[in-house]
Amino acid sequence: MRSTLMAVLGLAVVIAAVAAQTPKSPQKPGKWQIKMEMEMPGMPMKMPPFTTEECVTEQDLADPQKSVPSDPKSKCTVSDYKVKEKTISWKVDCPSQKSTGTGEITYTDDSYTGAMKMKMPDREMTTKYSGKWLGACTK
C-alpha cells in the first residue's frame, strides 16, 4: 500500500514538472475569427484570403501541438514552442509534405497577428494570420 502511494505521488510530481515546463499561451480561450492569407513567390495569381471561426479551449492552449495554426490532416509536429510575454513562436516539421517552417504570433487582449514561413523542396510559402476574439464558445 505504501509503495503504491509513493508511486502515485512520484507520478504526480513528474506530471506537475512537465506541466510547469509548458509555457502558458497569451491567447485567451473562446470563439475566434481567424483570417489566413497565403503567399507563394512565383504563383501566377494571389490566393484569396480565407476566414474561419474556431472554438479554442483551455486544453487546446495547454498543448503546443494544438495551439499553433496547422492542418490536423498534415501530421506536422510542433517543436521549440516558446512564449515571450504576448508572443509565441515555434518550429514545425511536416515529414509527409517534406516541409519545415517557423512561425510567430503576437496577441493583444482581443486579437492577434502573425505569420508562418514554410520551406518545401521546390518552393517557399508564407501564411499570414490575424485573429479576432468573438466571445465565449457556444458549443
Q: Is residue 128 part of a domain?
A: yes
Q: Whole-model pTM? A: 0.75
pLDDT tens-digit readout, 28-72: 999 999 999 999 988 888 889 999 999 999 998 888 777 777 666
CATH code of residue 40? 2.40.128
Q: Is residue 11 part of a domain?
A: no
Order across the sheet with 99-107: list the strands: 50-56, 30-39, 124-135, 111-119, 99-107, 87-94, 77-84
Q: Is residue 16 part of a domain?
A: no
Total domain count for the chain? 1
Residue-number span of the structural domain to which 34 is assigned: 24-135
Q: Is residue 4 part of a domain?
A: no
Q: Is residue 19 part of a domain?
A: no
CA dihedral 97, 127, 21, 110 (to 10 degrees): -150
Q: Which amino acid is at 135?
A: G
pLDDT tens-digit readout, 56-112: 999 988 887 777 776 667 788 889 999 999 999 999 998 888 899 999 999 998 999
Q: Is residue 10 part of a domain?
A: no
Q: Is residue 1 part of a domain?
A: no
Give 121's DSSP letter.
S
Our measurement of the distance from residue 123's CA atom to the centroid of its chain's CA atoms, rounded to an integer in Å, reads: 23
- DSSP state letters, 11-46: HHHHHHHHHHHSPPPSSPSEEEEEEEEEE-TT-SSP
Q: Is residue 13 part of a domain?
A: no
- Report d(CA 133, CA 111) in Å as an integer: 6
